[in-house]
Chains A and B, each alone.
Chain A
Amino acid sequence: MSSTLSENQTPETGTARVKRGMAEQLKGGVIMDVVTPEQAKIAEDAGAVAVMALERVPADIRKDGGVARMSDPDMIEGIIGAVSIPVMAKSRIGHFVEAQVLQSLGVDYIDESEVLTPADEVNHSDKFAFTTPFVCGATNLGEALRRIAEGAAMIRSKGEAGTGNVVEAVRHLRQIKNEIARLRGYDNNELYAAAKELRAPYELVREVAELGKLPVVLFSAGGVATPADAALMRQLGAEGVFVGSGIFKSGDPAKRAAAIVKATTFYDDPKIIAEASRNLGEAMVGINCDTLPETERYANRGW
C-alpha cells in the first residue's frame, strides 16, 4: 500500500490508506442507526457524519427475537438515495456473501456486526477481499487486533447494543485503552509474549506499542443514549460514537440527535453539554445489563 506512485501508474482503489483514511474523515462525528429514508434525512440534518442503514434498530431486534440478517437491498438503496453523507450497512459475522451484496449496492462501509445473528461461529469474513472498507466491534485489544489482521479499517468498542445502557461501552473502551497503555510499558522482549496472550499478530502488537493507539480509527458503540453518554465516550478516548436505538427510540429524535452531535463535538465543555441536555423529552427506557442472560449479550459474539 505504501509503495511510492509514479505519475503514469493507474489509480489504485481499495488500498489500506483509502479504507482507513475514510474512517479518519468520520472522526469527531456521530454515526446514527436509521431504518427509513426519512430517519436518514433527520440524522443528516442533525449533523450526523454517516448513517447505518438497517431494518430494525438493536432494541427491536432484542424485542422481536429470531434471526437478524442483512437488510433488504431496496431499503438500503432508498437510504443511499436520500442522503449525501456516507451510508454504512451491517452484515452478519462471517457472512461474506452478505458483505459481497452490500459492496455491490455501493455502501460506503460494511459493519460486520454482532448485533446480527452470526453466520459463522469460528471465522470472520476476510475483509481484504473487498474494496469496501469494514468496521468491526471489539471488547478488548486482542479482539480489535484480530479484526484488523483480517482487514478491518475501523474498530468500534462493542458495548451492549439496544440496551440504552452505557456501562458495557465504558467497560470495553477502558479495556482497550488500558491494554494499549500496558503495551506502551513493555520492552521488546515482552512484546512476543504479549502477542501470544492477546492472540494477535506480533507485528500489529508492536505497531500498537509504538503508536500508543490502534493503527485504525476507534469509535465507541452500544448503549449511548444521551449527550453526556456521547461526551463520556469521547473523554474516555473514543474518536467518535455510534448511536443506535438511542435516537429513534426516544421521544424527540431530531432534537436528541442534534444534542448528541453537539455534545460529541464539545465533549470537554460541560456547559455546552448541559445546554444540549435540556428538555430532550424521554430517553429510551433502557435495560440493566446485569439482568441480561448470557445468551442475549451480543458482545459475546465474535471470536
Chain B
Amino acid sequence: MSDTPVIGVLALQGDVREHLVALATADAVARPVRRPEELAEVDGLVLPGGESTTISKLAVLFGMMEPLRARVRDGLPVYGTCAGMILLADKILDPRSGQETVGGIDMIVRRNAFGRQNESFEAAVGIKGVEGDPVEGVFIRAPWVESVGATAEVLAEHEGHIVAVRQGNALATSFHPELTGDHRVHRLFADMVRANRAAESL
C-alpha cells in the first residue's frame, strides 16, 4: 500500500477544482468523483462548496445518495465545506421540500444562516487542531450549526455560532478554506484519512 492516500471530491457541482488543488498540496492524490464505482476507490471524500439543494438533488437523481450514505456509515473519512457541511448534517433546520442529506454528523444546521450574498464576508477563525494563526474564513451564503449532539466536537465558532465540527472521521466547516492559499484544514483532513488507512490496514 502506497503512503499517499487517494481523496475524492464529489464533483456533481461546486468548487471542485479548488479542493483538488488544496488536497494535492496536502500530499494526497486528489480526483473528482461522480459515479458509485469512483466512490468505491477513494480513501476519503470531500463534499465541496456549491448549492446544497442542487448537490442533494443531483446526488439522488444520479444514484449517488445511497452509496454515499453507505460509505460514510462505514467510516469513510469525509470533509464538507459550506454546502458539504449541510450534506453531512443529520438534520437541516429549514430544508427545502425533499432536500435529503448524507448525514454522518449529529448536528442541526441552518442554511444561509449568515444571510444572502450581500452579507457574505471574510473573518479570521481559530480552529481547534489547526496550529498557528487563525485561518482566513471565507463565508459565502454560509450555514451555521444550531446545535450538536454529544459525540460531535465543536472546533470553531464565529460570533457565538458554531462554524466547524468534527465527529469521528467526519469534518465540516461553514467556510471555504479551499478559496484561500492556506491549506492547513485540508492537511488536517488528509491526516485523518492517513490515520484511518493506517488503522484499517492493521
Please list the residues of chain A having a beta carbon within 8 angstroms of any beta carbon in chain B. Answer: 4-7, 9-15, 17-18, 21-22, 24-29, 44-45, 47-50, 84-86, 103, 106-109, 131-133, 258, 261-262, 265-266
Contact = CB atoms under 8 A, between A and B. Distances in A.
B179 interface: yes
Contacts of B117: 22, 86, 107-109, 132-133
B193 interface: no
12 contacts: A7-B126, A12-B122, A12-B123, A21-B120, A21-B176, A24-B15, A25-B51, A28-B11, A28-B16, A85-B51, A133-B117, A262-B61
B130 to A, nearest CB: 13
10 shortest interchain CB distances as A-B pairs: A108-B117, A5-B124, A11-B121, A11-B123, A24-B15, A28-B13, A7-B124, A18-B120, A21-B179, A13-B121
Contacts of A12: 121-123
Contacts of A6: 124, 134
Nearest to B12: A265
B8 interface: no
Contacts of A108: 116-118, 141
A18 B14 CA distance: 15
B49 interface: yes
Given A11-B123, A12-B122, A27-B13, A22 B140 contact: yes
Interface residues of B, number: 46
A132 B34 CA distance: 32
Please indicate which of the listed interface residues B111, B116, B120 has the most CB atoms of chain A within 10 Å of its own CB. Answer: B120
Interface of B: 11-18, 34, 49-51, 53-54, 57-58, 61-62, 82-83, 96, 111-112, 116-126, 133-134, 136, 138-141, 158-159, 176, 179-180
Contact of A13 (B34, B120, B126): B120
Given A27-B13, A27-B15, A84 B96 contact: yes
Please indicate which of the listed interface residues A7, A17, A25 has the most CB atoms of chain B within 10 Å of its own CB. Answer: A25
Given A7-B126, A109-B117, A25 B49 contact: yes
Given A5-B134, A6-B124, A7-B126, A131 B16 contact: no
Contact of B123 (A9, A29, A44, A261): A9
A2 B84 CA distance: 25
B12 A49 contact: no
B136 A5 contact: yes
Given A5-B136, A17-B138, A24 B49 contact: yes
Contacts of A17: 122, 138, 179-180
Contacts of A266: 34, 62
A66 B62 CA distance: 43
Contact of B50 (A4, A14, A29): A29
A303 B50 CA distance: 32
A242 to B, nearest CB: 15
